[in-house]
Structure formats: C-alpha cells, structure tokens
C-alpha cells in the first residue's frame, strides 16, 4: 500500500494520480491562509510585524521536517541499498535549504524590530544557520563526486551525521537561555497561543507543506527520468 | 605460473579489453605491444589488482590472487611508466626506503655496484629532481633488482634509456628468465631478446 | 620484526619530506602569530578582553591551519603512485592511513604546540589554562588530523571542488572546539569534558582509517 | 591586438584552473562563512566583544587565504614548464607575474568581498565600518597578493635560505594590516591612512613584478 | 640559419658541454644522441636561452639571439620531454590556449583533422589526466604543427609513441624540412629519416 514511498515506478503512478488534485487543494488552502492572515488580529506590542510569524514559523517547521525525512530515507538507503531513497534525498535537499533560508531571513527581519538587531549568536539562531550550511554541503557533495555510488553513500552518511543538529535546534530554547521564543504552539500538552493566531498559522503551515510536497514530487519525477535515460 | 583467465575490463561503458587469456610460465618473458590507448597500462594495473577486473580471474600458483593479495604482491615488482621515487629525496634515501619496504637482503656492496653500472653512483646524495630523465628511469628500474621478486611487471621500461642502459636491461631480463623468473612488460621498443613472446593488443 | 621496521621507515621518509618542506611549517606558525597580532590590534589591547578570547583565537587558528595542509596529505603520493608501491610491499591502505594520520599529527600539528606557550604569554593566560590548553590541544589536534585525513582522501575522488574537504573539516570541528574551549569556562566539569574529547578522538581514530582507505581504494580504481 | 588576446587567454586559463565548476565558487564562499562560525564558537558570543572582533576575524581570514594559496601561485606552472612555454610565446616574465597577481587578486581575494556584507551583518558592524572595511580590504588584499607572489617565487628557488626569505616577505603584511585595521579606530585620520595604504599598494605593484620575475628566472636557471 | 658558436655550459663546476659549434641551415634536421646525463636536454635549454651559456653565443639570422629574444622565440616551437599541458584542463582547452598564445591562424578544421590522425578527437573534452601516456605525448607534439614556427626543438619526441604515430611524426619532420624548416631534437630512438644528421654527445 505504501509501496510508492520506496518504489520509483509505483511512485510515478501515484504521483500522476495525485498531482493535479494536490495543486488544486494547495491553491485553495494557500488563498484561505492568506485571507486568514490578513484578517488575523494585530499584536498589541508588535503591531504589524507579528504577521512575519505566519511565514517564519511554517518555514522553520518545514525546514526541520524536510531534514527528518532525508534522515529516514538515508537510513533506508544505506540499510536496504534502496536507490529510490537517494533520489529522494537529492530532490528534497534544495527545498529544505530554501525553507531554512526563508526561516533565517524572516527571523532576521522580525528580530530587527523586536530585539533591535538582525542577528544574535544564540543557540537557536546559530544552530539553524548551521542547518543551512549542512543543507548546502549536502547539495555540494552531490555535485562533487563523479562516481555515483560514492556520491550517494557519502551524502547519505553525511545526512545521518548532520541529523545530530535537529534535536539541538528543537531543544536549544530549553537547554540554553536565549532571546528566542520557547515553544508555545508546538508544545505537546496545550498550545499557549490565542486561537485567532493559531488558526491562520496552522492553515499556512499546511499550505507551505503542500507547496513543498508538490515541488518535491516534481523534482523526484524529473530525477527518475534522468536516471532512466542514462 | 601466472594464469589469466577470461579477463575483461570496462571503463564506464567502454571496453578496454575483453576475455583475455594468458599464461605466464616460469622463465617466460612477454612483451605487450599495441597502439597508444589500446589498454596496455590498464591491463598491467588489472593484473596487479590496482584496478579490478569486471570479469575473469588471475591465478597465481593455483590460487586466485584476490584470496591473498599480499602473498601475491610479495612475489611482484611493479615499475610504472612514470617516476615513483620521491622527487625531493636523494637517490640514497629512496633506495633505503625501497630496500627496507621489500625486506630485501641485497648487500650494500651489490647495490653500489649496480649504481656504478648505471652511472648513478656519483649522484648518491643528489635529489631526484636534479637528475636527467634517463637517470631517473634507471633509478626506478633499479627496483627490479633491489626487491628480488620473482615476477617483474614493467610499463615502458625502455623509455629514456640510452643504448647501453637498454643493453644492460636486456641482459638483466635474460638473467632473470634463466633463474626461472617471470617478466611481463609493455613497450613500443623492440628489444633483442631471443625468448621474447609478444602479446598483441591492437 | 620486519613489519615494525617498515613502519619505522615510513616515518623516516615522512620526516625527511617534512624537513624539505620546513618552510611551509614556518609559514604556518608565522601565520598563526600574525593572526594573533591582527586580533590584538583589532580588539585594541584591553587586557581583560584579550585574556578571555586568547584561547578561542588559538583554537580557531589551529583548525584553520589544518585545512591548510589538506592537499599535502595524500595528493602527491597518490598522484605519483607511491601509495600503490607502498601498499604492494605489504602494508594495507588502512595502516598507511593510520601512519599518515600519526605523521600529520607529529609533523604538522605538534610544531604548533611549541608556539602555544608563546601565544599564551601574549594573552597573559593563567598557568592552569595553558596546561588545559596544551592538553586539549593534543587531543583536539589528533581529532583534527583524523578529520583532515578523511577529507583529504575524499578530495582524491573529486577532481573539481577542493574546498569541500576543508568545509567538512571545519564543520566537524565545531563540536571539538565547543568542548575544548568549554573546558576553560569557570563552571565546567573539566574531567567529563576531557573524557568526551578523548572519546571523540578514539572514535575518529577508529573510523578514519577505514573511511580514508575506502576512499583511496575507490580513487585508485578511478585513476 | 594579438597581445591583448593573449592576456585575455591567460586569464581564461587561470579562471578555468581555479574554478573547475560553479560549485567550487560557492563552496569557497561557504568555506569563509564556516570559518567565521568557527571563530565565533571559539571566542564565545559576547555581543560587545564580537562587534570589535569582527574586523579582526575578517582580516585574519584574508591573510590565511593568502598563505593558503601560496603554493598554488607558481609552483605547478613552474614545475611542468608552462611558465617557459608562455614566456616563449612572447610574454615577458614580468608581465606573467603581473597577470598572476591580478588573477590571484580576482579569483582568490575578491570572492571574499561578497561575503563581507553578510559577515558584517552577523557581527552587527555599523554601516560606515562596512564601507571602510570593503575599501581597505580591496587595497589590502591587492598588497597581500603582491607579497604572496614575491614569497611564492622565492620559494621556487628551493634553497633553504631563500625560503626563509619568503616568510620574511610575508612579515611585511603586518604593517598593512595594522593600517587597515587602524582605519576603523575612532580617532584615526581616515584619509591619510587610506593614502598610506594606496601608496603601499602602488609601490608593491611596482616592485613585485620585477622581483618575482627575477626570482623565477633564477629558479629556471637552477632547474 | 641558426649558428652556435663555441658554446659551453657549466653547472656549478661541472662541465656539461664545452666549446660546441653547430650550424643548422634551412631544411636541415639534426638529432642529438648521447648517453643518459650527457647533457642533451641541457644543451637544448641553453639554445633556447632558458639556461644561459657560460661562454659562446647563439646567432639567428646574423644576430645574437640575446639581443632580441622574443624575435627568436617567435620562430621557435619547443617540445619538452615531459607533459606541459595542464592536467586539469581538457584537450580542447589546452589547444585553444596554445593556439591563442602563438597567434596561429591554423583553421579549426585542420586542427580537428590533426586530432583525428592522432586518434585524439574522441577525447576532445577529456581532461589530460585521464589520457594514456602516449595520448598525452601526441597532444604535446601537436604543438609543432599548431604553432607554425620555423625552428622546431624537441626533447625525446619518440617516447611513448606507438609505431604508426612515430611514422606520422617522421613524415611531419620530412615535410617540415622540405618547407625549409629547421629541426633539432634529442632522442635515443633511431628514426628512418634519410637527411638526418647526427650530433654525438658522448
Ligand atoms: C534569524 C532568526 C531566527 C531563527 C533562525 C529562528 C528559528 C526558529 C525555528 C527553527 C523555529 C521552530 C522551532 C520549533 O519547531 O520548536 C522557530 C519558531 C518560532 N520562532 Fe523563530 N527564529 C528566529 C527569529 C525569531 C524572532 C525574531 C521571533 C519573534 C520574536 C521568533 C519567534 C518564533 C516563534 C513564536 C516560533 C514558534 C515557536 C513554537 O511555538 O514552537 N523567531 N524559530
Ligand atoms: N636541475 C639540475 N641541477 C643540477 N644538475 C642537473 C640538473 N638537471 C640535470 N642535471 C645534471 O646535468 C647532467 C645533464 O643532464 P641532462 O638532463 O641534460 O641529460 P640528458 O642528456 O638529457 O640525459 P637523458 O638522456 O637522461 O635525458 C646530468 O648529469 C644531470 O644529473
Ligand atoms: N584514469 C582514466 N580515466 C578514464 N580513462 C582512462 C584513464 N586512464 C586511461 N584511460 C583510457 O583508457 C584507455 C587505455 O589507456 P592505457 O593507459 O591503458 O593505454 P596504453 O595502452 O597504456 O597506451 P600508451 O601506449 O599510450 O601508454 C585510453 O583510451 C585512455 O584514454
Ligand atoms: Mg601506457
Ligand atoms: Mg634529457
């Protein structure tokens, strides 16, 4: 049933079915999300700048999610020698890099009015910056080796080692005292955020994920095609 | 007895050579000839397991060499077609290094007399980078005698050599085959060795 | 017996080659002091300030200078075939890598050790910090040698992009630096941090010969 | 006409050799950023400190990258005889050196420039300091390229005493850096310092082609 | 007409060669032969003013070459005994570089047909480091045709070449002498060229 997650041809079939509805759904949700963001209340302290949140937080979450997916596929790829997982890794890495970049830029833009500085060297911010570097290195690694086998294995191992960074990002706000907001939405028990802000945030998150998913599907399909023709 | 069975090597999808069979008995000397780029160097490297073959096997004394590669290496001297001595060390340093590595028990006197015949003795403490091309090559060739192995694999050994050195090399080859050694070399030169067998690569 | 002699010979060769290139060692050390001066000038010689960052400067310069020597690690011996010749004389690639790491440590990193006391003087570091520094430095630079070996062997396989090796060394040295510098923080637990460092060094010493040898073998295959 | 084409070709070759592909350009920049990270980790992220350290970090990375590329300067082209071949096609050694300095400046130092604005952001440098930095950086790195050329050509002579000479040449970069960093001190006279820097750059640009060419010719004679 | 008068060269205090006289007229082809280390390569370098002679002078068209070295160089192609193309660039990149530097007006078609005869055309975009030793040498030799100069100075041009390439080289030499070119080369090989004059260095 979930064969499309590991088998190229099944994936292609599944993608062909799902792609168009997905695009439709994504546009609807994105428009809804933007309307909700527009309608959402202004913060009494931060004013308009609070709306950066609706870009910042989804892209931050997706940056982490993308890397987690790559980690899982790397384990599968190394353990079961599944070529499809390397295809996914290659296709998905730039998407994650872009999300990380958006998170960094939006965070910086947000930080200037709130903290009075573009950048501080605290644990959260630094570890996200390192995540961006790791993403870039993964992309570069894929372009440096001529030998395909070496390229894929090295990249996968590197992704695995780099995944150490994920918990550091996630828990940095708890482990070290930093300027950055501690988890308020993604707390397991009860989100400590007003419902009027939570709604657009969640919708935007879904919209972002769908955009990422669509691009990923297209990139994976392209990669499969390239490999077939070689 | 070195047996080569059905050996093939591809580089990416190019066939360099295919289904090659060859047997090298004791006392046999074989020259590989062929056009530039026909795969002579590659063939030698495959035999030495520096490159690994796509099909086929190499058998030394009844055993596939991959089983115990160091046992095989322990019988072999390989002279590449380029300089492998350290350019920044002197002749003496290089010789000492090789000699130690191959656990050879050639006496120092013997080594000096070898250097003498090759006209290299006066450069004993000269760095390789200050030698002429032929002198470098002769130093490189010294390894075949120094390491005292049974199988000699050489790539273009006659390049850069003057006539008298080539003569000495021929003589060394003949002596080695008389002692039951095995010699395989690739070259475009036609040496005057009576027992020479030719493997054509064109 | 013969085997030990071979290893000894290997070191002797490395030592000789090292002395031929003694200039580059000197220029590394020179670079080191130069950078220290730069920092002192950039910061203005506020004594208290200097004391607190002295350690950091020494460490980061150490890391950067290891990326300096990356290309020297295997490239020459690989290109002119010496690695193969050595291997054919009965030394496995894993051992070659191990010996190379050791000789890199001995001939590239250790000379730095000499400059540490002088540098510490410049920063007025207290004596116990200097001890800590030298101690962590020895372990940390061993880790760096392992990392360099891996990146350098990786570079053999890749003929186009040489900075990637250096980048990877830098990335992995981040935790090493954090731990090494952390040791001198007032409230840190010296012993457990040292243990972590030693653990890392052992892990890397275990992994890197295999990883590097695998890269070298692959590179030979594609040569 | 032909002559300009030759010069153009020379640059094209250098460019190709330096950046075998686009990835290596980016990874060089990535390398610089990672080095900045290393410094910050090692130094500890005290905000006030960092602001004043930023300058020092950027400058010492510049010096590092010059010493890094010292061996790449002439060694390969000298050893395989390309220098002679180029010379025989009608380009004097002085001009070759000049072109090499320019291409070192363009392909090694300038990519740095791109990272300066972002790096300044990370250190929260005030905007006028960034301008100063970029300005002094351009001149300073040109001087460093000249100095590197001289010491690289001295190293070709492969005689111990000359190699030490190469290091001494690098020592000249001390005053350059002192001036460059000093420009950002509050009480310094910007204009006269810049003039001194420009003067130094012109002097070195005038001297180093002759000096380097002389060393190269000598080295060829002893080859 | 290239005249060499009374040329000597010492390295430190060793005499490499002394009081050498030689005249190379148009259409003349001369081979230097001699033992390894007898100074052939050094001699060629002295003629090209890469090393400068201790005594004597080299005269080209009535003028000492040192007077206007670039005028002399503009008539010369020098092929060294080692690879001088950039190992990390492709054949095409190297050819473009040389061609541009020598301001040669050889048409691209001609270059491609040259590459074709040397069996190199399929490697046009391959980096030099992936070529076989003979292929590298042939690429190097391409320069003599590419640069269209009158005087050819070559060091060991026959090394690494297979028989048919050596044949082509011979033919190129003969053509060049028929066009009044001047050729001087050092080699241990005995090419079959009728007009060949020998300069013995022993
Ligand atoms: C460049 C600077 C910044 C970076 C790299 C960054 C990074 C991140 C990351 C990675 C997350 C996801 C964390 C998780 O899932 O637990 C996050 C969440 C968040 N960030 Fe930022 N951030 C930056 C600046 C800011 C600023 C200036 C603010 C506003 C004061 C801010 C407010 C938030 C909030 C409210 C969340 C949601 C927390 C939650 O409920 O989980 N961030 N940020
Ligand atoms: N750079 C150098 N420094 C010192 N001595 C050198 C240098 N190059 C060559 N020699 C010495 O000068 C002598 C002549 O060398 P040269 O290269 O001219 O010989 P050759 O006739 O070309 O020999 P071959 O046939 O081996 O190429 C040799 O004895 C050599 O050792
Ligand atoms: N590292 C490499 N990567 C890709 N191709 C290579 C590599 N080395 C050699 N080749 C190609 O493989 C073929 C065989 O090369 P090889 O060196 O074995 O030829 P050879 O017979 O020794 O030639 P020569 O007589 O010129 O020495 C050539 O076409 C060459 O271009
Ligand atoms: Mg060959
Ligand atoms: Mg010679």
User: What is the tens place of the pLDDT at every residue in C92-127?
Assistant: 999 999 999 999 998 888 887 888 888 888 777 788
Q: Is E34 on the interface with B (CB under 8 A)?
A: yes
- How confident is residue D186, by pLDDT bands cut at 50, 70 and 90? low
| C-beta of B133 in contact with ligand 2 (< 6 A) | yes
- Give the DSSP letter of residue A41: P
- Highest average pLDDT, of A55-59, C28-32, C62-66, D165-169, comes from A55-59
The pLDDT tens digits for C173-223 are 888 888 887 766 656 677 788 888 899 999 999 999 999 999 999 888 877
Q: What is the distance between the alpha carbons of residues A71 and A83, in angstroms, rounded to a whole number?
A: 15
* Mutation test residue for ligand 1: of A49, A50, A58, A60, the one with most atoms within 8 Å of CB: A60
Reported ipTM: 0.88
Interface test with C, best of D23, D32, D38, D177 (most C CBs within 10 A): D38
CB contact under 8 A, C60 and D42: yes
Q: Helix, strand, or coil here: E65?
A: coil
In total, the C-beta contacts within 8 angstroms joining chain C to chain E are 3
Mutual orientation of helices C47-68 and C110-123 as an angle, nearest 10°?
160
Q: Is residue A187 part of a domain?
A: no
Confidence (pLDDT) at B182: 95
Q: Helix, strand, or coil here: E20?
A: strand
Residues of chain B with pLDDT > 70, as a percent, come to 100
Interface test with D, best of C22, C29, C39 (most D CBs within 10 A): C39
> Are E107 and E96 spatial neighbours (Cβ–Cβ below 8 Å)?
no
Report chain C residues whose CB lies below 8 A from the CB of D167. Answer: 23, 26-27, 30
Confidence (pLDDT) at B149: 92
Residues forming beta bridges with residue E76, ordered by sequence position = E151
Q: Is residue A185 part of a domain?
A: no
CB contact under 8 A, E160 and B134: no
**Backbone dihedral angles phi then psi of residue E35, each to the nearest 5 degrees:** -60, 160
Confidence (pLDDT) at B202: 78
Q: Which residue has the tokens 């390239």?
A: A226
Closest ligand to C-alpha of residue B127 is 2
Q: Helix, strand, or coil here: C106?
A: helix
Q: Which residue of chain E is at minimal alpha-carbon distance from C79?
A: E129
User: B77 vs B22, C22, C220, CA distance in Å?
Assistant: 19, 33, 18
Confidence (pLDDT) at D76: 86
Of residues B90 and B103, more confidently modeled: B90
Q: Is residue A106 part of a domain?
A: yes
Residues of chain D with pLDDT > 90, as a percent, come to 22
Q: What is the rounded average pLDDT of the residues D178-197?
A: 74
Q: What is the mean pLDDT of chain C?
A: 83
Confidence (pLDDT) at A89: 94
Confidence (pLDDT) at A66: 96
**Backbone dihedral angles phi then psi of residue B154, each to the nearest 5 degrees:** -130, 140
What distance in angstroms lies between residue B188's CA and the mean position of ligand 3's atoms? Answer: 15
Confidence (pLDDT) at D5: 85
Of residues C100 and D167, more confidently modeled: C100
Confidence (pLDDT) at A70: 96
Closest ligand to C-alpha of residue A68 is 1
Report chain C residues whose CB lies below 8 A from the CB of E82. Answer: none
Has residue A190 got a pLDDT over 70?
no
Of residues D29 and E163, more confidently modeled: E163
> Are C150 and C54 spatial neighbours (Cβ–Cβ below 8 Å)?
no
* Mutation test residue for ligand 2: of B91, B115, B123, B131, the one with most atoms within 8 Å of CB: B131
Q: Is C217 on the interface with B (CB under 8 A)?
A: no
| C-beta of E38 in contact with ligand 2 (< 6 A) | yes
The pLDDT tens digits for D110-143 are 877 877 888 888 888 788 778 888 888 888 889 9
Interface test with E, best of B36, B42, B159 (most E CBs within 10 A): B36
- The Cα of B62 is separated from the nearest Cα of chain E by a number of Å equal to 33
How many Cβ atoms from other residues are within 10 Å of residue D176's Cβ?
A: 24
- Highest average pLDDT, of B175-179, C71-75, C77-81, comes from B175-179
Nearest CA to ligand 3 atom 18: B39
Residues forming beta bridges with residue D214, ordered by sequence position = none
Q: Cα A38 from chain centroid?
A: 24
> Are B20 and B8 spatial neighbours (Cβ–Cβ below 8 Å)?
yes
In total, the C-beta contacts within 8 angstroms joining chain B to chain E are 73
What is the token pair recorded at B94? 């290089």
All CATH 3.40.50.300 domain ranges in chain E, comma separated: 1-75+176-202
Mean pLDDT by 10 residues, chain E (202 residues): 91 88 92 93 93 91 90 93 90 92 86 91 91 94 92 94 93 94 94 90 82
Q: Is C68 on the interface with D (CB under 8 A)?
A: yes
Nearest CA to ligand 2 atom 4: B130
Confidence (pLDDT) at B1: 86
Q: What is the rounded average pLDDT of the residues A103-112?
A: 91
| Size of chain D, expressed as the number of residues it contains | 223
- How confident is residue B72, by pLDDT bands cut at 50, 70 and 90? very high
* Mutation test residue for ligand 3: of B17, B31, B35, B37, the one with most atoms within 8 Å of CB: B37
User: A210 vs A97, A112, B103, CA distance in Å?
Assistant: 16, 30, 67
Residue A61 structural domain? 53-180+195-228
CATH superfamily placement of domain B1-75+176-202: P-loop containing nucleotide triphosphate hydrolases (3.40.50.300)
Q: Which of A187-191, D94-98, E159-163, E175-179 has the lowest average pLDDT?
A: A187-191
Interface test with D, best of C38, C178, C187 (most D CBs within 10 A): C38
| C-beta of E119 in contact with ligand 2 (< 6 A) | no
- The Cα of C190 is separated from the nearest Cα of chain B by a number of Å equal to 44
Confidence (pLDDT) at D184: 63
Has residue A189 got a pLDDT over 60?
no
Residues forming beta bridges with residue E15, ordered by sequence position = E10
Q: Which residue of chain E is at minimal alpha-carbon distance from C161?
A: E88
| C-beta of E37 in contact with ligand 2 (< 6 A) | yes
- Give the DSSP letter of residue E85: S
> Are E101 and E117 spatial neighbours (Cβ–Cβ below 8 Å)?
no
> Are E111 and E99 spatial neighbours (Cβ–Cβ below 8 Å)?
yes
Confidence (pLDDT) at E48: 92
Q: What is the rounded average pLDDT of the residues A117-146?
A: 88
Q: Which residue of chain E is at minimal alpha-carbon distance from C222?
A: E130
Ligand 1 atom at shortest distance from the alpha carbon of A173:
16
- How confident is residue C54, by pLDDT bands cut at 50, 70 and 90? confident
Q: What is the distance between the alpha carbons of residues C59 and C140, in angstroms, rounded to a whole number?
A: 9
Has residue B7 got a pLDDT over 90?
yes
Residues with Cβ within 8 Å of residue E26, at least 6 apart in sequence = E1, E180, E181, E182
Using DSSP bridges, classify how beta strands E29-33 and E55-60 pair: parallel, antiparallel or unpaired.
unpaired
Q: What is the distance between the alpha carbons of residues C190 and D44, in angstroms, rounded to a whole number?
A: 18
Report chain E residues whose CB lies below 8 A from the CB of C155. Answer: none
Q: Is A150 on the interface with C (CB under 8 A)?
A: yes
Q: What is the rounded average pLDDT of the residues C31-38?
A: 77
Has residue B171 got a pLDDT over 90?
yes
Task: List subunits contacting chain B, requiring 3 or more Cβ pairs under 8 Å.
Answer: C, E
| C-beta of A52 in contact with ligand 1 (< 6 A) | no
Residues of chain B with pLDDT > 90, as a percent, come to 77
Confidence (pLDDT) at C44: 65
Nearest CA to ligand 3 atom 17: E132
Q: Is residue A59 part of a domain?
A: yes
Q: Is D191 on the interface with E (CB under 8 A)?
A: no
The binding-site residues of ligand 3, defined as CB within 6 angstroms of any ligand atom, are B 11, 16, 34, 36-42; C 223; E 130-135, 160, 162
Has residue B152 got a pLDDT over 90?
yes
Q: Is residue A16 part of a domain?
A: no
Confidence (pLDDT) at E185: 95
pTM for the structure as a whole:
0.89
Residues of chain D with pLDDT > 70, as a percent, come to 90
Q: What is the rounded average pLDDT of the residues A48-73?
A: 92
Are chains C and B touching, using the cut-off of 8 Å on CB pairs and a minimum of 3 such pairs? Answer: yes
């Amino acid at each position: 049933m979930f064969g499309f997650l590991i088998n190229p041809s099944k994936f292609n079939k599944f993608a062909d079915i799902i792609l168009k509805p997905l695009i439709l759904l994504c546009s609807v949700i994105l428009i809804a999300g933007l309307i909700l963001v527009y309608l959402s209340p202004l913060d009494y302290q931060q004013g308009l700048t609070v709306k950066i949140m609706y870009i910042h937080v989804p892209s931050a979450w997706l940056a982490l999610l993308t890397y987690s997916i790559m980690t899982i596929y790397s384990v599968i790829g190394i353990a079961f020698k599944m070529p499809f997982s390397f295809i996914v890794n290659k296709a998905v890495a730039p998407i994650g890099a872009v999300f990380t970049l958006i998170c960094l830029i939006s965070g910086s833009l947000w930080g200037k009015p709130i903290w009075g500085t573009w950048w501080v060297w605290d644990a959260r911010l630094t570890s996200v910056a390192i995540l961006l570097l790791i993403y870039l290195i993964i992309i570069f690694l894929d372009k440096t080796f001529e030998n395909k086998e070496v390229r894929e294995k090295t990249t996968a191992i590197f992704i695995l080692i780099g995944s150490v960074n994920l918990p550091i990002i996630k828990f940095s706000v708890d482990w070290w005292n930093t300027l950055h907001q501690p988890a308020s939405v993604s707390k397991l028990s009860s989100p400590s955020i007003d419902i009027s802000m939570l709604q657009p945030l969640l919708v935007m998150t879904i919209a972002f994920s769908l955009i990422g998913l669509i691009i990923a599907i297209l990139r994976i399909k392209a990669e499969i095609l390239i490999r077939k023709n070689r | 007895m070195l047996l080569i069975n059905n050996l093939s090597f591809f580089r990416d999808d190019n066939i360099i050579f295919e289904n090659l069979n060859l047997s090298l008995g004791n006392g046999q000397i074989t020259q590989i000839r062929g056009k530039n780029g026909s795969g002579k160097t590659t063939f030698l490297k495959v035999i030495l397991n520096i490159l690994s073959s796509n099909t086929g096997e190499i058998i030394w004394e009844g055993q596939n060499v991959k089983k115990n590669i160091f046992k095989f290496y322990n019988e072999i001297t390989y002279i590449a077609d380029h300089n492998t001595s350290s350019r920044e060390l002197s002749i003496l340093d290089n010789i000492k290094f090789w000699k130690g590595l191959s656990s050879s028990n050639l006496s120092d006197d013997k080594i000096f007399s070898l250097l003498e015949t090759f006209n290299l003795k006066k450069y004993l403490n000269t760095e390789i980078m200050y030698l002429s091309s032929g002198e470098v090559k002769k130093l490189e060739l010294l390894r075949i005698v120094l390491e005292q192995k049974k199988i000699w694999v050489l790539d273009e050994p006659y390049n850069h050599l003057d006539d008298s050195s080539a003569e000495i090399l021929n003589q060394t080859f003949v002596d080695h085959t008389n002692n039951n050694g095995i010699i395989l070399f690739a070259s475009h030169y036609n040496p005057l060795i009576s027992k020479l067998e030719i493997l054509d690569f064109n | 017996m013969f085997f030990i002699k071979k290893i000894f010979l290997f070191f002797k060769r490395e030592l000789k080659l090292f002395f031929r290139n003694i200039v580059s060692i000197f220029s590394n050390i020179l670079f080191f002091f130069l950078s220290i001066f730069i920092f002192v000038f950039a910061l203005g010689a506020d004594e208290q300030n200097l004391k607190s960052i002295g350690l950091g400067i020494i460490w980061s310069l150490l890391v950067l200078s290891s990326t300096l020597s990356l290309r020297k690690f295997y490239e020459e011996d690989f290109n002119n075939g010496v690695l193969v010749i050595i291997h054919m004389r009965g030394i496995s690639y894993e051992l070659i890598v191990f010996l190379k790491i050791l000789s890199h440590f001995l001939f590239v990193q250790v000379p730095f050790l000499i400059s540490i006391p002088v540098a510490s003087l410049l920063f007025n570091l207290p004596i116990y910090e200097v001890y800590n520094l030298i101690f962590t430095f020895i372990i940390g630079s061993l880790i760096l040698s392992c990392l360099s070996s891996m990146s350098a062997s990786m570079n053999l396989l890749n003929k186009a992009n040489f900075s990637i090796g250096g980048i990877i060394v830098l990335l992995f040295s981040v935790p090493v630096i954090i731990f090494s510098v952390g040791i001198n923080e007032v409230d840190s637990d010296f012993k457990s941090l040292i243990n972590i460092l030693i653990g890392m060094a052992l892990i890397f010493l275990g992994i890197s010969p295999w990883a590097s040898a695998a890269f070298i073998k692959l590179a030979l295959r594609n040569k």
